[in-house]
Structure 1
Amino acid sequence: MGSKMGIVSKRRCFAILLVFLGFLIRHRSSAEKVLFVPAIDAPSDSHWFTQANIGRALVEKGHSVTVVISEDMYTAKKRRAEWSDFQFETFQDGGTQARLKEHQNHMLSMAEELSQQKFREVFTAASEGAKQYCSLLLGNSNLVDRLRASQYSVVISDPFFPCGAILSAHLDTRVPHIAVIHADPNFLDTKAAGVPLPLSYVPFIITDFTDEMTFVQRLQNVVLCTLLHMMARRDVSSNYDELVRKYFGEEETIQSVTSRTDLWLYYRTDNVLDFPRPSMPNMVQVGGLNVRAAAPLAKDMEAFVHSAGDDGVIVVSFGSMVRTMSTGRKEAFAAAFARIRQKVVWRYVGEKPTGLGNNTKLLAWLPQNDLLAHPKTRAFITHAGSNGMYEALHHGVPMVCLPLFGDQPANAARVVARGLGVMLDFSTVTAEQLYQAILHVVTNNSYQETAARLSRLHRDQPQSPMERAVWWIEYVIKHGRLTHLRARAVELPWYQYYLLDVAVFLFGVCSAVLGTVWCSCSFICGKIFCKSGNSRHLEICK
């Protein structure tokens, strides 16, 4: 009896082993090579972290992820240490990365006083460095040959750095290209996707307008959008068209290369927080992509949060966008926090404010997502960056927004319009205004109720944003170029897109018909008058 049981047990183990091996074989057979071309030092690391998180999700699904980066000593070493499950292809950038990093740090050090105009000047200067970086990347024949030989199934890039689209086309036009996009500062995406942009109710990304605009706001929206689109496209064309012609085709431009993109993954927008607007089948919203399940807080942090009692805690973070604060500003913040009943966890780097209250804890880094998920968190004070905004939305935390530049005013406007928080001017806010805003958000139940309702809406999806992004990437890998999802508008000349040729034709037909009717009526009337015998009419007939 014992021997029979042993044989059955062995057979069962063998069957389980076969099933497991079969699973591994199937899993391995589905593995594909994915190439990432990240943006070169965007204004913060959030662009890279978004792509890296997608890459890690793909690795967990069995795919192989390769990232193209500079051989810059700091960057390459750091990326390899933090993301050991990726492969890296590197090249020499002639110090471009280091210079851009220095330029970026200078920008962040003065972010507090950075106006939109100054931000554009800084961005333009950074664009020149990015062009040099791109030229060195594309011109490295050894790197390009290695990438081409690897035969990647898909290339994923960030339109913040247009070089990714050029590299994708240069490697192989048959390989699909996916854009993981926060926002395109070159404004190539709308034309590349062929999506309409009705400025009557779609606010421009750098404004704090909503979808309900006054006449003056609509006028500003049209003027700003038109002028900045023209300027940005002129600048990006002057920077990259020459590279496109050199490495892809004489008749091509950066706009035409970008229009090859098969899929657009927008991680700044979603259907809950964003205003409704036209879209295309190959434009997928994955707002909240970086939100993850909350982890338990460290013991000292948990003790601090628990000590707040029923009053709860306020989380304060401006991400990496504000490295330092002026003395007046940090003292105003400290004074406002000292007056509230809640405990405050403040991500802060620099000299400790003299007016800091006993209820405030300063940290150079904080577990923002885990704190926002904590049941004792009552509000989030933020610059309205996309990642923090979606973490607060996901966990149902009201916000006090103090936007600085870029898309942050637009993000804050969405928060206010949805009843999820309030907005203050970072450059002029006083301690009293900040205190009153915090008090208003914390004591007014409508903000907490709205935050809870929007959180439920955001969570109630058939797939999480990350699962949706991975599903679409695998869909592209499986089926290749998604030409059936691309709008024909991408290929139409502007006069056909706006139906100007049809309008001219109809105007000509209407003019011909009206002219014929007019001439016919004039001829008939003339004949009638001539037959009437009136002397004056006879004079006219002669």
Structure 2
Amino acid sequence: MNVSNIWREIRSDLSTLRGFRGLRSYKLTARCLFKPFFWQQSFNGFRTVGGMNLKMRHPSNAIFALLLVPLACVFGGKILVVPLDGSHWVNMKVLIEELHLKGHDITVVRASNSWYTKEMSPFYTSVSVPHTGGFDEEFFGNLIMRLLHAQRQGMSFWSQMRMERESHTHFSLLHKSMAEMTAQILEDKKLMQSFHDADYDLVLTDPGVGVGTILARRLEVPLVYNVRWTVQGEAHFVIAPSPLSYIPFTATELTDKMSFGQRVKNFVAYVVGMYVMSQITEVHYKPVIEHYFGPDVNYDTFFQDADIYLMRNDFIFEFPRPTMPNVVYMGGFQCKPANPLPKDLEEFVQSSGEHGVIMMSLGTLVGELPVDITEEIAAAFAQLPQKVIWRHTGQRPATLGNNTLLVNWLPQKDLLAHPKTRVFVAHGGTNGVQEAIYHGVPIVGLPLAFDQRDNLSRMRAKGAATMVDTGTLDRDIFADALKAVLHDPTYRETMQKLSRLHRDQPMKALDRAVFWIEYVIRNKGAPHLRTHSNKLSWFAYHSIDVFATLLTVVLVVTFTCISILRCLWGKLFA
């Protein structure tokens, strides 16, 4: 066997070793690597480690791999992960799996009734907190369906306000539940002692809820955010200078080029939006912070002191704006090279010929739409020569054409990467938009709720997408939108340009994220990157006190000079 093949097998065996949980922490003593059971059966091609059989293809590999294990383990850290459930878990899981591959020891704190975060995993150890609140998949699914029905029937302003209030109320209950879970964790002395004894190097959390931030502060360990949204709003607006004259606020669908009227709209939306956000979250987390950290702790800055913000977007997606030294952009970090399609799906795709394929998926929450919308969409697809792959879990539409394949699940990234995929019909979630950018596939957007319309409006402004309002959607409107993106080459050219820009960087987004997590572990934090601006009052931040002082000095000097001149004038000409 040649040297390259031996080295390839050694690397594979090391990867297997690294997957063994007992060897991942750099805090292990060296003797654990050389206990006698490690050598059992090593020269007949097997090793037994803690009751787990690991096969080595060659005896020499076992020796080389064993000698190299300390090198693989020495850089591993102990990371406590506090995720946010739902689609946000999809992002966090990507980071967890990569950190596990790098040799880090991962512990995940999860609610016992967690929606997506599983208790058992080969990538992490879980700590399940008994809990009955949190995300309610059924509620959010029903909310979206009711919203769509209301839009189809012509929802009045007051009806829209009632639904908005209902949504805010449920989010408020979610944060109340998370605050209660936080207090439950902090009151559990045995659990907290286990966290202290574990001596974690870092807490990695999604600040969409406050549990991880509060726990990190209590344990006094460095903190890294996997973030776009925080409990105080969109992360940029929380920590970075955000002039409203050219930075559009969330959900306004504005760009960085605004007229006077649009700037008024942006300002009002900002004031109202930040107030509503504080009413949803602050009333629940602030009492917890005051109780466990004292009344002198500033709530406004408490959630802003993360060492690193791993931002789940970049300036391919965002409009240009000011940022901060501890913000690291990792837009599209979850995107990976494609795998081959299953045989039956590949055959269906190839049967499309030169016309290609349209893919439709509306994310994790929505497997089906109201029947009337579904029928119109199916009828529109039936008008096209393209083949269609549609993730749909509801009743089969009566208007479905022979060119459309309904599936309960589809390999989204693999289909997006396929050269025959022409259009992606999507709801506008961040994950789907980033994957479309990565693979260069233009979007026809059907925004349903939350930040989806805002995400799609950004892609529309860049010329890579078009949007269809579900309230007015019919077969002709939807077919026209599809034909526009299919037949106007500028949509595809623009998206492929964005894809090239996204890929043209010295380091992959996921590697960059892992580097900065390990950077914080190595340096026990990154306080030198945190700005002091969030400690300033609003009038000090904007130098209003300085301006007022200087203005006062100028006025006093001017008044004094005028008084002296008047006095001299009076004496000279009296």
Task: Answer whether TM exceeds 0.5 for this pair.
Answer: yes
1:369 matched residue in structure 2: 413
2:400 matched residue in structure 1: 356
Q: Is the contact between residue 75 and residue 103 of structure 2 (CA under 8 Å) also seen in structure 1? A: yes
Deviation at 1:223, TM superposition (A): 1.0
2:410 aligned counterpart, secondary structure: coil
Give 5+ residue unaligned stretches, structure 2.
1-42, 44-57, 151-159
Over 3 Å counting, the alpha-carbon distance change for 1:465 and 1:113 in structure 2 is farther
Q: Which amino acid aligns with 2:164?
A: Q
- 2: CA distance, partners of 1:126 / 1:96: 7
Q: Is the contact between residue 192 and residue 261 of structure 1 (CA under 8 Å) also seen in structure 2? A: no
1:29 matched residue in structure 2: 74
1:112 aligns with 2:148: yes
Aligned partner of 1:138 among 161, 167, 186: 186
2:346 matched residue in structure 1: 302
Map 1:339-354; keep pairs closer than 5 Å: 339-354=383-398
2:358 aligned counterpart, secondary structure: strand
Aligned partner of 1:184 among 204, 207, 230: 230
1:265 aligned counterpart, secondary structure: strand
Over 3 Å counting, the alpha-carbon distance change for 1:318 and 1:433 in structure 2 is same
1:58 aligns with 2:99: yes
Deviation at 1:224, TM superposition (A): 1.0
2:29 matched residue in structure 1: none
Aligned-residue identity in percent:
34
- 2: CA distance, partners of 1:87 / 1:329: 43
Deviation at 1:481, TM superposition (A): 1.9
Give 5+ residue unaligned stretches, structure 1.
1-9, 531-542
1:79 aligns with 2:118: yes
Aligned partner of 1:151 among 199, 204, 214: 199
1:379 aligned counterpart, secondary structure: strand
Aligned partner of 1:439 among 451, 469, 483: 483
2:217 matched residue in structure 1: 169
1:212 aligns with 2:212: no
Map 1:523-542; keep pairs closer than 5 Å: 523-530=567-574
1:494 matched residue in structure 2: 538
Q: Deviations over 1:142-197 (max 9, x none)?
A: 222211110110001111111110011112x2x1001101322522844763x111
RMSD: 2.2
1:464 aligns with 2:513: no
Deviation at 1:432, TM superposition (A): 1.0
2:315 matched residue in structure 1: 271
Aligned partner of 1:256 among 301, 313, 322: 301
- 2: CA distance, partners of 1:254 / 1:52: 29
Relative contact order, higher structure (CA 8 A, sep 6+):
1
- 2: CA distance, partners of 1:75 / 1:469: 25
Over 3 Å counting, the alpha-carbon distance change for 1:331 and 1:232 in structure 2 is same
Q: Which amino acid aligns with 2:229?
A: A
- 2: CA distance, partners of 1:227 / 1:462: 40
- 1: CA distance, partners of 2:168 / 2:124: 34
Deviation at 1:231, TM superposition (A): 3.1
2:473 matched residue in structure 1: 429
In our comparison, the structure showing a higher alpha carbon Rg is: 1
- 2: CA distance, partners of 1:245 / 1:121: 23
Q: Is the contact between residue 331 and residue 353 of structure 1 (CA under 8 Å) also seen in structure 2? A: yes
Q: Deviations over 1:105-127 (max 9, x none)?
A: 43344353585825334322332
Q: Which amino acid aligns with 1:120?
A: H
Deviation at 1:434, TM superposition (A): 1.0
How many aligned positions are there?
Answer: 506
- 2: CA distance, partners of 1:316 / 1:443: 18
Q: Deviations over 1:348-393 (max 9, x none)?
A: 1211111111111111211111111000000111111111111111
Deviation at 1:62, TM superposition (A): 0.5
Q: Deviations over 1:416-457 (max 9, x none)?
A: 121112122122222211111110111111112112221111
2:466 aligned counterpart, secondary structure: strand
Q: Deviations over 1:79-125 (max 9, x none)?
A: 134x32210111212x224x744433433443535858253343223
1:388 aligns with 2:427: no
1:412 aligns with 2:456: yes
2:40 matched residue in structure 1: none
- 2: CA distance, partners of 1:181 / 1:284: 10
- 2: CA distance, partners of 1:256 / 1:429: 44
Deviation at 1:16, TM superposition (A): 7.4
- 1: CA distance, partners of 2:365 / 2:323: 30
- 2: CA distance, partners of 1:285 / 1:37: 20
1:540 matched residue in structure 2: none
1:398 aligns with 2:446: no
Q: Which amino acid aligns with 2:142?
A: H
1:196 matched residue in structure 2: 241
TM-score by length of structure 2 reads 0.84
Q: Which amino acid aligns with 2:119?
A: R
